[in-house]
């Protein structure tokens, strides 16, 4: 199950896992056509796939999504909490409504998903959350999104501790600037991309597939003792002075 699967990083993750042999439940919010086309792509690979509409910030909506999921699938091996949303403004202009929107969509959702998924998760199943460098670094306009991603990473550690005894691993992938539709929301999109490319030692732009590959690595059985970890995928940007 991949949330926010219709576009960008979520879509790349769904494709990667499907190409590695996974069936895919694609959770999406409003992008019906994109979600359906992804599911069609996955089915063309010979895997099963359904698209399910849900608001990941709503317990009721998550409950409905899992009811739908259970009609087609009897277990869940990999849960990827990727859906994200935010309000990009200076902290001094942000309100309680914005806080709730960011924190509920970007952090609470992981907990709601884990709770709903728990009965379907067996030993060796994995939960992987998608975070951002903004969880640890200040970026203009990113205050509440950054705070929500910091909360997400903290939640990953707690869930790893709680679910470890059941053989469930919980990790995060923290991505640098990735060139997706979501970046269109930033007025200085091109400047952000070029600055990232200039400063990252690997000197390349990150593609959604780079993040998907890291999710795949964490999902491998060989990562069987990796849990509570946040794997940074940024071409070395964040360690470079």
Examine residue 29 and tell whether it contacts other proteins (CB under 8 A).
yes
Examine residue 39 and tell whether it contacts other proteins (CB under 8 A).
no
Q: What are phi and psi of 44, to 5 degrees?
A: -65, -20
CA distance 7 to 25: 14
Examine residue 238 and tell whether it contacts other proteins (CB under 8 A).
no
- Which residues are 78's β-sheet partners? 126
Selected from 19, 37, 53, 238, the binder of other proteins by CB under 8 A is 53
- Which residues are 27's β-sheet partners? 3, 52
Residues numbered 59-118 forming contacts with other proteins, rule: CB under 8 A: 61, 85, 87, 97-98, 101
The candidate with the shortest Cα–Cα distance to 155, out of 147, 166, 167, 165, is: 147
The question of whether 216 is a catalytic residue gets the answer no
The question of whether 149 is a catalytic residue gets the answer yes
Quote the least distance from Cβ 101 to other proteins, whole Å: 5
Quote the least distance from Cβ 32 to other proteins, whole Å: 5
CA distance 37 to 35: 5
Please, what is the end-to-end C-alpha distance for the chain in angstroms?
37
Q: 16, 149, 216, 237: which is the annotated catalytic residue?
A: 149
Contact, 2 vs 10, CB < 8 A?
A: yes
Q: 28, 29, 142, 216: which is the annotated catalytic residue?
A: 142
Residues interacting with other proteins, by CB under 8 A? 29-33, 53, 55, 61, 85, 87, 97-98, 101
List active site positions. Answer: 142, 149
């Amino acid at each position: 199950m991949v949330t926010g699967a219709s576009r960008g990083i979520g879509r790349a993750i769904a494709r990667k896992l499907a190409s590695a042999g996974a069936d895919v439940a694609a959770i999406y919010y409003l992008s019906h056509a994109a979600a359906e086309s992804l599911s069609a792509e996955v089915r063309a690979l010979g895997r099963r796939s359904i698209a399910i509409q849900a608001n990941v910030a709503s317990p009721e909506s998550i409950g409905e999504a899992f009811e739908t999921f259970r009609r087609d699938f009897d277990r869940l091996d990999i849960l990827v909490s990727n859906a994200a949303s935010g309000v990009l403004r200076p902290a001094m202009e942000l309100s309680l409504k914005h806080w709730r929107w960011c924190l509920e969509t970007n952090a609470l959702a992981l907990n709601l998903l884990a709770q709903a998924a728990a009965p379907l998760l067996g030993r060796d199943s994995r939960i992987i959350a998608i975070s951002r460098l903004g969880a640890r670094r200040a970026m203009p306009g990113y205050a509440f999104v950054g705070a929500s991603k910091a909360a997400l990473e903290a939640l990953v550690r707690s869930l790893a501790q709680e679910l470890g005894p059941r053989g469930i691993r919980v990790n995060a992938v923290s991505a640098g600037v990735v060139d997706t539709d979501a970046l269109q929301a930033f007025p200085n999109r091109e400047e952000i991309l070029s600055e990232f490319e200039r400063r990252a030692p690997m000197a390349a732009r990150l593609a959604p597939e780079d993040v998907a590959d890291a999710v795949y690595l964490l999902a491998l059985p060989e990562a069987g003792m990796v849990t509570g970890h946040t794997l940074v995928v940024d071409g070395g940007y964040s360690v470079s002075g």
